[in-house]
Amino acid sequence: MPWDGRTRLALKFELVTMLRSGELLAAHRDELFDLDGEFPRFDVPLKRVKKRRVIQQPLSDLAVEIIKEALRGSNKQYVFASPFSDKPMNRTAMATALRGTKVKGKVTTPGICALLGLNPFTPHDLRRTAATLAGDLGCDDAAIAKCLDHAASRKQEQIVPSVPGKVYNHSTRMKEKRAVLDGIAVELRRIIREPTVEQSDVGLRLVA
């Protein structure tokens, strides 16, 4: 695969967390909590969130594996750091990896979509894929919307109070989100073990 390993991991992370590219690409070690514990999570600061509010996103075991793989052997502070510095990779890197590069209309480096024989799609489509998968699993539409950080009532938008490195996980909102994201992780692992043509068509082979 010609594309940088952390770029591929970032694509996988978008699929399993349902976060936006701009929210996850600057993930910093200080924003990760309880990775080896019972309630791992990723806190996205409001400055990176579309609706300017902190997102506390539960992490499935698959999401934690992706983070640990991205950090393995690295002394950088950013999970998905640029290969050239300890700064977040460029926001266009994920889209470029999917579509490939061209010079004067000629493909110079094929993208992941072409290499896997998939119809072209964007990083944002991974959020839609995850939401569709969650719906097929029978998850509640409101819980899926919370994972996507879509419209919520003022009460729902309250930030879960935290203490150093921990979160009060009895929050109904966190429990609902964790159930959705854990369910997606379980289903993705099943799909990896038992690939089908239909599943490949929606791009789920990205997690392989």
Query: Do 66 and 15 meet the contact criterion of CB atoms below 8 Å apart?
Result: no
Alpha-carbon gap, residue 150 to 50, rounded angstroms: 10
Q: What is the 3-state secondary structure (H, E, C) of the chain?
A: CCCCHHHHHHHHHHHHHCCCHHHHCCCEHHHEECCCCCCCEEEECHHHCCCCCCEEEECCHHHHHHHHHHHCCCCCCECCECCCCCCECCCCHHHHHHHEEEECCEEEEECHHHHHCCCCCCHHHHHHHHHHHHHHCCCCHHHHHHHCCCCCCCCCCCCCCEECCEECCCCHHHHHHHHHHHHHHHHHHHHHHCCCHHHHHCCHHHHC
Give the torsion sign (CA, 90, 121, 10, 22). Answer: positive
| Span 165-180, average pLDDT | 74
pLDDT at 7: 94
Q: What are the tens digits of pLDDT across the range 79-133?
A: 999 988 899 999 899 999 999 998 888 889 999 999 999 999 999 999 999 999 9
- Report residue 1's pLDDT band, with 50, 70 and 90 as the boundaries: low
- Residue 175 contacts residue 169 (beta carbons within 8 Å): yes
State which amino acid sits at residue 20: R
Query: Which residue would you say has higher pLDDT here, 53 or 176?
Result: 176
**What pLDDT is attached to residue 169?**
46
What average pLDDT does range 178-183 have in this prediction?
Answer: 97
Considering the entire predicted model, what is its pTM?
A: 0.83
181-198 pLDDT, tens digit per residue, is 999 999 999 988 855 544
pLDDT of residue 104: 83
- The label of the residue with tokens 């579309």 reads 50
**Alpha-carbon distance values, 185 to 1, 130, 133, 178, 204 (Å):** 24, 10, 10, 10, 12
Nearest-angstrom CA–CA distance, 96 and 122: 9
Classified by CATH at the fold level, domain 5-207 comes out as hpI Integrase; Chain A (1.10.443)
Pairwise CA distance, residues 138 & 72, whole Å: 35
pLDDT digits (tens, 9 = 90+) for 6-44: 999 999 999 999 999 999 999 999 999 999 999 999 999
State residue 50's pLDDT score. Answer: 81
* pLDDT for the residue 194: 57
For the chain, domain boundaries: 5-207
pLDDT classification of 151: cutoffs 50, 70, 90: low
Residues 34-91 pLDDT 10s: 999 999 999 999 999 987 888 999 999 999 999 999 999 889 999 999 988 899 999 8
pLDDT of residue 160: 46
